[in-house]
Structure 1
Amino acid sequence: MLIKSLFRRSHSLPYNYLARAQWSTRCLATTCNTSLSPVALAYKESPKPLPQNDSKSQPIVILHGLFGSKQNWGALSKAMASRLNTQVFAVDLRNHGESGHSQEHDYHNMANDVACFLKEQNLEKPIVIGHSMGGKVAMYLALNHTPMDRVVVVDMAPVKVRLSSEFAGYVAVMKEIQQARVKKQSEADNIMKKSVPDLSVRQFLLTNLKKDTKEGYGFRIPIDILGGKLENLGQFDFAAGEDKYEGKILIIKGNKSGYVRDKDTELIKTFFPQVRIEGLDAGHWVHAEKSEEFLKLVTEFATEK
């Protein structure tokens, strides 16, 4: 199954969040802050199979990583909904998937979008799961004191880093494909394989390709916006010793990825005193490479008292 099973397309509609307002520097509110011009977020819901009073956990909200979308989490969303008998909402973050676009792309705005989504869906204390970029969004929500039952962060640490040059390379090749107006997805793959030899990475990036016009394919994500905001995605604006989340949090790291290092442990604990860190024998896409082990960790964490 691995990566392919997680890249099936979903067909969902965005929720109707219409508030728009002026830009503000930072969101410190515990709920939706309309001064940050929130973006409407598309989502896919996996309904729980049994009555609400039989649920084993709070509803779950899943936040994908950079260049990802809700469709990457389709199989896992259904598995979580079934095993925990709860609702699972896989969300498209701003400038991704079917969600709205904005010139602003940073963690404060993304976290506020999610806070507004939680308000719109009446999700008072969900479990929030975030991978990579989505993991940092989840940490921002936690440190901004957004009401959550508990948090799962997948292969991301609360540190400021410089993004790998690979991401700029992905943007460059997607721009090349966009300009080529390819007629087939195979043509896009042929262009991409010159600079992205890993088939699984190409498959992941090309889930963003769509039939644009009769003239060819294009990308559903705003490549220019994301390419210009890559530096923002390495940021982490909270201060160790000052900002803290006292709730339950599980960090699942890929032992082969290097995104969560052993030397980060003490820093992580200053932000998240109740943190539990688990490692799986995987790279950065822990949930795709070790899906069964990942599900076991999430299920146990979601149901523990």
Structure 2
Amino acid sequence: MAPMVPLPLCTLSRRMLTGGVGVGCRVDGLSHFKRLCKLVSPWCQLRSASLASAAPTLTAPVVPPGRRPPPAGWTPVLHSHDVKTIAAQAQQFGTDATFWSEHTRTIAILHGLFGSGRNWRSVGSALGKALAERDTQHSWRVVLVDQRCHGASTQAYDAPAPHTLDASAEDVADFFEKSGIEPDILLGHSLGGKVALAYLDGDKRVMPKCTFVLDSAPFSKHDCPDLGDLHGTFSTLNVLRELPDVVPSRKWLHDTLAPRGMSVDLINWLGTNLVAPEGQGSPEPMVWQWNFAGCESLFQSYVDTCHWETLTRSANSSDASAELVIAQRTFDDWPANQKARLSSLPSHAHHVLPKSGHWLHVDNPKGLVELLMARICDKMSIPAIPPS
């Protein structure tokens, strides 16, 4: 693929890109966002004129020949104002390569429902560092994508309906094409796992050498009627649907959700989607950084879609293979008839991660990184022990 002029990571704020809009909302449309900001704070008067006056088009500077230090830390991947695509952040590990270099390999990570790319910073950093230390021929770049209706993508990209796995996979393909980033490894957790499989089903896409589907059920609700509540998702959706667009404080969120049976960890995690409107002048009240209706539609697409055929075909492929990693406690709840279908996959293409539940990157991050390291090194022909 001949990509468009690659736009390097830069440290410009999102505010330059969006004309001052720094937060998403649960309902589609910037007009709703303006009304919401006026409701939240008298300091947050975003008028139509300010929204319409976009920042000047950002031109991609030419990357000079030779080597230069990679950008430090997690940096937003930004594009010109005229190029609309989902948001992402990235970090490069290893110093002996230019960011846009043939010596750079890329891991792209797709988060799950109601998550965002930043949920994977810890595991992404550990994996990137370990691979850069092991692979003496390349540096490694980790790209954390915010899927449609989630995180920074709620303001960077007004995703058109319908909100489905296929539509989200097309967003990912569009992001890779417009950014010039070509994934060597694709990781998808939960919802992101099925989006990754939908990506593999597409035509004329740059295919990763290996895709890892992390605790994402390849079957549909027709195969398992309880799929929607396998991780308590339906119950969570029912509670979240009752919450207001404007949340007075994090304490209010805890006091409201704890009596409904939600754990402190789950409440804190959901709270990562709360942000104060830019320009408000105080951290509270806050609004949601997601499109709730869009998230519901994505989840419905998740439970309606069976990807066993795609997973089986890809698991047996030598070019763009796929492997399934299941959390131990999740696997215990799988229906017997779906466990039996694992026999259609090669033994190296399915794994059960011990001491973990659905959020396996939180429950057993060390075990997950070690498992992924072993499989990636095998797929990418990276020596098991770096030369001395």
1:297 aligns with 2:371: yes
Counting matched residue pairs gives 275
Aligned residue for 1:151? 211
TM-score (norm 1): 0.78
Aligned residue for 1:26? none
How far 1:265 sits from its partner (Å)? Answer: 5.0
Moved more, 154-163 or 167-176: 167-176
Moved more, 105-114 or 226-235: 226-235
Aligned residue for 2:275? 210
Q: Secondary structure at the match of 2:76?
A: coil
How far 1:193 sits from its partner (Å)? Answer: 1.4
Task: Spell out structure 1 runs of 4+ moving beyond 6 A.
Answer: 53-57
Moved more, 49-58 or 121-130: 49-58
What letter matches 1:190 in structure 2?
A: D
* Counterpart Cα distance in 2 of 1:50 and 1:219: 37
Question: Does the 8 Å CA contact 1:248/1:275 hold for their aligned counterparts?
Answer: no
Identify if the C-alpha distance between structure 1 residues 239 and 186 changes in structure 2 by more than 3 Å, giving closer, same or farther.
closer
* Counterpart Cα distance in 1 of 2:346 and 2:305: 18
Larger radius of gyration: 2
* Counterpart Cα distance in 2 of 1:40 and 1:79: 27
1:118 aligns with 2:176: yes
Q: Deviations along 1:179-234, whole A, 9 cap, x unmatched?
A: 5x333211112112122421111111111111145772121101133235532121
Identify if the C-alpha distance between structure 1 residues 57 and 163 changes in structure 2 by more than 3 Å, giving closer, same or farther.
farther
* Counterpart Cα distance in 2 of 1:159 and 1:288: 24
- 1:1-305 matches, within 5 Å, as 12=76, 14-16=78-80, 40-52=85-97, 58-85=105-132, 86-99=140-153, 100-102=157-159, 103-144=161-202, 146=205, 147-161=207-221, 162-164=227-229, 166-179=232-245, 181-212=246-277, 216-236=285-305, 240=309, 244-245=313-314, 246=317, 247-258=320-331, 263-265=337-339, 267=341, 270=344, 276-280=349-353, 281-304=355-378, 305=381
* Counterpart Cα distance in 1 of 2:210 and 2:126: 19
What letter matches 2:267 in structure 1?
A: R
* Counterpart Cα distance in 2 of 1:153 and 1:241: 12
* Counterpart Cα distance in 1 of 2:91 and 2:146: 14
Question: Does the 8 Å CA contact 1:56/1:84 hold for their aligned counterparts?
Answer: no
Identify if the C-alpha distance between structure 1 residues 238 and 250 changes in structure 2 by more than 3 Å, giving closer, same or farther.
closer
* Counterpart Cα distance in 2 of 1:67 and 1:274: 32
Moved more, 110-119 or 247-256: 247-256
Identify if the C-alpha distance between structure 1 residues 111 and 292 changes in structure 2 by more than 3 Å, giving closer, same or farther.
same
* Counterpart Cα distance in 1 of 2:323 and 2:334: 13
* Identity between Structure 1 and Structure 2 (%): 20
Question: Does the 8 Å CA contact 2:275/2:287 hold for their aligned counterparts?
Answer: yes
Identify if the C-alpha distance between structure 1 residues 284 and 55 changes in structure 2 by more than 3 Å, giving closer, same or farther.
farther
Question: Does the 8 Å CA contact 1:101/1:222 hold for their aligned counterparts?
Answer: no
How far 1:82 sits from its partner (Å)? Answer: 0.8
Identify if the C-alpha distance between structure 1 residues 301 and 239 changes in structure 2 by more than 3 Å, giving closer, same or farther.
closer
Q: Secondary structure at the match of 2:177?
A: helix
How far 1:14 sits from its partner (Å)? Answer: 4.8
* Counterpart Cα distance in 1 of 2:180 and 2:102: 17
TM-score (norm 2): 0.63
How far 1:44 sits from its partner (Å)? Answer: 1.3
Question: Does the 8 Å CA contact 1:143/1:244 hold for their aligned counterparts?
Answer: no
* Counterpart Cα distance in 1 of 2:311 and 2:323: 21
* Counterpart Cα distance in 2 of 1:176 and 1:93: 23
Consecutive unaligned residues of structure 1, counting only runs of 5 or more, are: 1-9, 20-38
* Counterpart Cα distance in 1 of 2:249 and 2:186: 37
Q: Deviations along 1:55-96, whole A, 9 cap, x unmatched?
A: 998310000000000110111111111111210001100000
Consecutive unaligned residues of structure 2, counting only runs of 5 or more, are: 1-73, 133-139, 222-226, 382-388
How far 1:250 sits from its partner (Å)? Answer: 2.3
How far 1:266 sits from its partner (Å)? Answer: 5.5
Question: Does the 8 Å CA contact 2:169/2:199 hold for their aligned counterparts?
Answer: yes
